[in-house]
Amino acid sequence: MMFTTSTKRGARRALATAAALAGVALVASGCALTAGSGDDDSSSGSGSDGAQSIAFVPKQLNNPYTDVVLGGGEDASSAIGYDYSVVGPLEASASSQVTFINTLTQQGADVIVIAANDPDAVGPALQEARDGGAKIVAFDSDTNPDYRDVFISQVEAKDVALIQIRQMSEQIGGEGDIAILSATANATNQNEWIKYIEEEVDTNPDYAGINIVSKVYGDDDDAKSFQEAQGLLQANPDLKGIISPTTVGIAATARYLSTSEYKGKVALTGLGLPNEMREFVKDGTVTAFALWDPAQLGYVAAYAGQALVDGTITGAEGDTFEAGDLGERTVGADGIVIVGPPTEFDADNIDDYDF
Amino acid sequence: MPEQTTTPSAATSGVGPRRASSATGAVDADHRDAGRVDPESASERRLRRRRRLTGRGAIMVYALLGTLIVCSLTVPRFASVQTTGFLLLDAIPILMIAMPMALVIITGEIDLSVASTAGLTSAAMGVLWAAGWGIPEIFVVCVLIGVACGALNGMLVTTVGLPSLAVTIGTLALYRGLALVVIGDNAVADFPPALTSFFTSKIGATGIPTAMIGVAVIVVFFGVLLHLSSFGRTLPAIGFSREAASFVGVHVGRAKFWMFVSTGVVSALVGIYWTLRYSSARSDNATGIELAVIAAVLLGGVSIFGGRGSIPGVVAGVLIISSVSYALRLGGISDVVLNVVTGLLLVGSVVTPSLIAVIGAKRRSRRSAREVLAASETAAA
Amino acid sequence: MTTSHALAPSTGTGRSPIASLVRQREVPVASALVVLVVVTTIANPLFVSSQGVKDLMLNATITVIMAVGLGTVIITNNIDLSVGSILGLVAFGTGSVFAAAPDIPIVLVFLIGLALGALLGAINGFLVTVARVPSLVITLGMLYIYRGVNNAWAGGQQYFAGDRPAAFGRLSVDTVLGVPVITVIAIVVVVLVAVFLARTRPGRDLYAIGSDDEAARLFGIPVSRRVLTAFVLNGTLTGLAGVLYASRFNSVGATTGTGLELDIVAAAVVGGIAIFGGSGSVVGAAIGAVLLTTITSSLTALNVDKFWQQAIVGVLILTAILVERIASIRKARRLRTSEATNA
């Protein structure tokens, strides 16, 4: 007949209920299975099984530079004997890290090592973690100093800036218009480096002929950085060089330059990964660029965390601690620890590195 | 080129104007009461009571309870007061926007611009605070921004008659763009600590965030509006058949307009919450949550065709997704799994009843064909 | 007694061919593009230098191909929100294939990409037609699922331009008569799909389905099969776009293509495709895609604060919908009055 009776409909509903519950149960048990195996690597509470836990929270997962840093952190963590874990968002946005910090607080992590997408957005969550007894180590991109115990900086911020402007000046003959292609507008490390570059150009007489005409942001997105590079060259036809202190930005710009008529005419330098930039150095788009060993950054960060937990350091200026194979490190002003000097790459030495 | 000349009333792609003979079989007795003014008979009351316990909304509530139980058993430390706090803090923006969004979808429209309205509000908050305005004045301006954004959507959809999917894609870009114009790449972070800590504080020892009080008010308001008020009962009618609703005397345009205004206002409130909870006003705040809201609303049993849905179901939908995400993160599982699970939940929640209905319809038509054949045989005999 | 002219195209007595040309659906968006280019060139002549024009064409290529595919689906009154995730999967797949077999013939890689895209599109199509579920919901769910698969597959792995043969990368650099090779591919795609939609039976059926699928079904059109075809076509074209993405850009990884879907829908809408299906053309969608990508470059070339860009795109979308609506109302009125006068 045309209309089913209400009992038939009720039966269908019951079936749907059962299906929904079964579906959820299936999904949840799937999670349980993976949670069960994940539990072996994820951090457990301090003291409960003896091992301390250290958790790394990068700006985002699936970033090649970050993966090298984390590799160093993992090596150090196993040398120290801490339980190592990595959690983080898939997208680098200001607030996406907060929920992960919250779960770490709940798990009772002993050390949280974080590279902040935004210096303040993660503040309240970090404070809560500290109230729960965690030590906070910032690395790569600092948080507001109120929220962390120490900040591990890969290099002296000023050194990075000096190297980049020197390399640029050498490549363009000491004068001309240049532009800067950065990552996101709020990234602490980016803004610091840019600030020093601008200062240097203003005050140093060697760079008197150099003019910074534009600053653009590629948001660490390949396609966006690519388009920003295009825009720079269209808007400033006399541009002699681009400094890009971000590995995604310099790679995207190099790709654009090498496929355009500007190849060889516009200089490009900045911070890049040797594996990404090798092709462009070989084909002449890029003469020289700089970076450091990212693995050392994670390595020192892990040891700093251990030192904080043991009470060896408190983050005050003058404290020193042992960073495993790398030797002693000193805490500077504002709780900043420097890892080491930057490395310059060019056609001669680029094949020596694999990261 | 072939041209389209009819004027569609429902807004969501995938159906267009509502077909009364829709083959999903999802048309059921939920519609019968919509917009009726005569008193219910005893059998209808009984039906409504039974539906309350077995309808799609109720199913989602049971599913939520099931999810919570499974998560508590399998993920260590999930069953704790801390979880309640963190989980709810994360869920609040989605829960808040899901309320008016459910109503909008029930009336057959959709609003994709909610996240951008929240972002614009956040940007305005930052700029005004940096300029030295006082907090009460800033709140008022933010709510007004929400009203304006919602009113623009509403006007374009009802007065001008444009499809809401396309309009809100446009306003999604427009409002987010205005947020960029207002605050640019800057971030304002020095909000008064008393205010920001209020938003992360919890009620006593229960772990429930203090802000949940306001959220509960919003949930109850929309729940009462949809289920208990006479205005609310016209909304499913509008979604089911716009023409029929206006024949019965429902002012369709006005109802839809106010629905859009309500999404605008609640999005503005979410913008305020987001800014103060994270103590950071940025133009990219709340990016992308419109899809999460829609996924939760659809999971909660609201039909994308319009005309059907319940607030308890939507609340359950939001909390299911939030619980599963928090449980996965607490268990140290990558967000990759979370993405796949969310997608599967969404697809499964819509495909399963639809498949059941399609199979049921096939079986019904086969049975009735058999009956007709048998009847004609006995008639011929 | 009334002679039915309902099925004959409305030529209108006494209308000049110029008037009917102007009334073509693609005109508003094409004129917007022309105006934009002219204004920008006056302000910054470098905009139409040979490098500038090449850049414009290259930037638009991928969006054009995707807009053509998605436009076909929208014409049938459906939508596919998972195109960004499909692009990401195919782009990463292309990178993986080259990394695993560096000497593989490039044509084969294209075929693999197209096949993968077609498969993913077919999954969407099946769910929409067999399970009879609204495409907005299904493709929203598949967006999450495909993205999750991409993340699980890629992890932190990224493939860079150096991992792919130089010849593959040169597709985005070399030109044929001044037009980059990949843009030529895009133009061919637009022409083929436009001809398919306008001149073949299955193509025209898509418009009928978009206008009223019940009537189409009663008319004898195999609706499910046609809609499935549209989704498979969309998937294939997105797969093509994914392969070309790997040629043009540097890195492909887990997050490639995130967030593209709303841009492509915007391009189709701006190009005059009605969101409810049944009208619009893929040529318009292609022009809409070119317009939106050109705005980005144009604003940069004009040194306009880039912060205005998204707001301008939003205004453009709203204007396009408004224009489309006005056009369809006037068309309806004209059809009604022409029926009355012919009766």
> Which residues face A53 on adjacent strands?
A83
Counts for chain B of helices (H) and strands (E), in that order: 14, 0
Tell whether B298 and B353 lie within a shared domain.
Answer: no
Tell whether B210 and B349 lie within a shared domain.
Answer: no
Evaluate whether A268 touches A253 at the Cβ level (below 8 Å).
yes
Separation in Å, CA of A254 to nearest CA in chain C: 9
* pLDDT at residue number C334: 87
Tell me the chain B residues in contact with residue A94 when contact means C-beta distances shorter than 8 Å: 187, 278, 280, 282, 284-285
Interface contact C276-B163, CB threshold 8 A: yes
In the predicted structure, residue A324 carries a pLDDT above the cut 90: no
Interface of C with A in 269-328 (CB under 8 A): 296-297, 300-301, 303, 306
Separation in Å, CA of A298 to nearest CA in chain C: 17
Nearest chain B residue to C130, by CA: B355
Record the tokens describing residue B349, joined without a space: 């929640």
* pLDDT at residue number A38: 39
Separation in Å, CA of A321 to nearest CA in chain C: 32
Q: Exposed, middle or buried, B19 (CB in 10 Å: 0-12/13-18/19+)? A: middle
Tell whether B272 and B350 lie within a shared domain.
Answer: no
Q: Is residue B273 part of a domain?
A: yes
DSSP string covering A139-183: ESS---GGG-SEEEESS-HHHHHHHHHHHHHHHHTTEEEEEEEES
Q: Is residue B29 part of a domain?
A: no
Tell me the chain A residues in contact with residue C255 when contact means C-beta distances shorter than 8 Å: 62, 90-91
DSSP string covering B112-144: --HHHHHHHHHHHHHHHHHTT--HHHHHHHHHH
Q: Is residue B188 part of a domain?
A: yes
In the predicted structure, residue A43 carries a pLDDT above the cut 60: no
ipTM of predicted assembly, 2 dp: 0.83
Task: List the one residue out of B320, B341, B317 whose CA is nearest residue B68.
Answer: B320
Average per-residue pLDDT for chain B: 85
Evaluate whether A288 touches A90 at the Cβ level (below 8 Å).
no
Separation in Å, CA of B148 to nearest CA in chain C: 16
Interface contact B80-A106, CB threshold 8 A: yes
C179 vs C147: CA distance, rounded Å? 33
pTM score of the predicted model: 0.83
Q: Which domain holds residue B159?
A: 77-333
Residue position matching structure tokens 């191909």: C65
CB of B166 within 8 Å of any CB in chain C?
yes
Evaluate whether A44 touches A109 at the Cβ level (below 8 Å).
no
Evaluate whether B282 touches B120 at the Cβ level (below 8 Å).
no
Tell me the chain B residues in contact with residue A23 when contact means C-beta distances shorter than 8 Å: 345, 348, 352
Interface contact C160-A62, CB threshold 8 A: no
Interface contact A234-C47, CB threshold 8 A: yes
Q: Is residue B375 part of a domain?
A: yes
C60 vs B201: CA distance, rounded Å? 49
Render the burial of B109-137: b for 16+ CB within 10 Å, e for the rest.
bbbbbbbbbbbbbbbbbbbbbeeeeeeee
Q: Which CATH architecture has domain A157-291?
A: 3-Layer(aba) Sandwich (3.40)
C224 vs A199: CA distance, rounded Å? 66
Record the tokens describing residue B48, joined without a space: 């409504």
Lowest mean pLDDT across A8-12, A65-69, A146-150, A239-243: A8-12
Record the tokens describing residue C184, joined without a space: 């030529």
Residue A328 is given by DSSP the state E
* pLDDT at residue number B112: 93
Tell whether B318 and B364 lie within a shared domain.
Answer: no
Neighbours of C, requiring at least 3 CB pairs below 8 Å, are A, B
In the predicted structure, residue A1 carries a pLDDT above the cut 50: no
Record the tokens describing residue A79, joined without a space: 């040398």
Q: Is residue B22 part of a domain?
A: no
Which of A66, A231, A275 comes nearest C300 by C-beta? Answer: A231
Helix axes C282-301, C27-43, angle to 10 degrees: 20
Tell whether B167 and B250 lie within a shared domain.
Answer: yes
Angstrom CA distances, B256 to A44, A50, B104, C249, C276, stand at 51, 60, 7, 44, 19
Which of B16, B180, B343 comes nearest C144 by C-beta? Answer: B343
C22 vs C330: CA distance, rounded Å? 14
Interface contact C322-B294, CB threshold 8 A: no
What's the CA angle centered on A303, arms A302 and A304, to 5 degrees? Answer: 90
- Main-chain phi, psi angles of A279, to 5 degrees: -60, -40
Separation in Å, CA of B204 to nearest CA in chain C: 37
> Which residues face A57 on adjacent strands?
A114
Interface of C with A in 133-152 (CB under 8 A): 151
Quote the percentage of chain B above a pLDDT of 90.
45
A345 vs A287: CA distance, rounded Å? 9
Tell me the chain B residues in contact with residue C127 when contact means C-beta distances shorter than 8 Å: 347, 351
Tell whether B234 and B367 lie within a shared domain.
Answer: no
Tell whether B129 and B184 lie within a shared domain.
Answer: yes
Evaluate whether C83 touches C260 at the Cβ level (below 8 Å).
yes
Amino acid at A267: A
Cα B5 to chain centroid distance, Å, stands at: 31
Nearest chain B residue to C211, by CA: B4
Q: Is residue B197 part of a domain?
A: yes
Nearest chain A residue to B342, by CA: A27
Separation in Å, CA of C274 to nearest CA in chain B: 9
Nearest chain A residue to C245, by CA: A223
What's the CA angle centered on A165, arms A163 and A168, to 5 degrees? Answer: 105
Which CATH code for domain C25-342? 1.10.3470
Sequence ranges of the domains in chain C:
25-342
Interface of C with B in 47-86 (CB under 8 A): 74, 77-79
Neighbouring CB atoms inside 10 A of A221's CB total 22
Half-sphere exposure of A108 (CA within 13 A, CB side): 11
Nearest chain B residue to C124, by CA: B347
What confidence tens digit (pLDDT) does each residue in B227-272 have?
A: 999 999 899 999 988 888 889 888 999 999 999 999 999 999 999 9
Which of C54, C59, C250 comes nearest A252 by C-beta? Answer: C250
**A–C CB contacts, 8 A cutoff, strictly below:** 85
Mean pLDDT for the stretch of residues A83-92: 88
Tell me the chain A residues in contact with residue B90 when contact means C-beta distances shorter than 8 Å: 99, 102
Interface contact C137-B347, CB threshold 8 A: yes
Lowest mean pLDDT across A112-126, B62-76, B291-305, B348-362: B348-362
Of the three residues B293, B317, B333, the one that is the final residue of a domain is B333
Task: List the one residue out of C198, C258, C234 whose CA is nearest residue C67.
Answer: C234
CB of C24 within 8 Å of any CB in chain A?
no
Q: State the best of C55, C62, C170, C302 to mutate against chain A, taking most chain A CBs within 10 Å.
A: C55
Tell me the chain A residues in contact with residue C300 when contact means C-beta distances shorter than 8 Å: 227-228, 230-232, 234-235
In which band, very low, low, confident or very high, does the pLDDT at A5 lie, cut at 50, 70 and 90? very low
CATH number assigned to the domain comprising residue B290? 1.10.3470
Neighbours of A, requiring at least 3 CB pairs below 8 Å, are B, C
Lowest mean pLDDT across A40-44, A123-127, B329-333, C212-216: A40-44
Interface contact C307-B180, CB threshold 8 A: yes
B312 vs B331: CA distance, rounded Å? 28
CB of C214 within 8 Å of any CB in chain B?
yes
Instruction: Output the tens digit of pLDDT for each of chain C's 343 residues.
Output: 444 444 444 444 445 677 666 667 788 888 888 988 898 888 888 788 888 888 888 889 999 999 999 999 999 999 999 999 999 999 999 999 998 888 889 999 999 999 999 999 999 999 999 877 889 889 989 998 999 899 888 877 778 777 888 888 888 888 888 888 899 999 999 999 999 999 999 999 999 999 998 999 999 999 999 999 999 999 999 999 999 999 888 788 888 888 888 889 989 988 888 888 888 899 999 999 999 888 877 887 777 777 788 888 889 889 888 888 888 788 888 888 887 777 5
Sequence ranges of the domains in chain A:
53-154+294-340, 157-291
Of the three residues B297, B316, B333, the one that is the final residue of a domain is B333
Which CATH code for domain A53-154+294-340? 3.40.50.2300
Task: List the one residue out of A253, C303, C309 whose CA is nearest residue B184.
Answer: C309
CB of C156 within 8 Å of any CB in chain A?
yes
Q: Domain total for chain B?
A: 2
Mean pLDDT for the stretch of residues B108-113: 93
What confidence tens digit (pLDDT) does each residue in B146-170 have?
A: 999 999 999 999 999 898 988 999 9
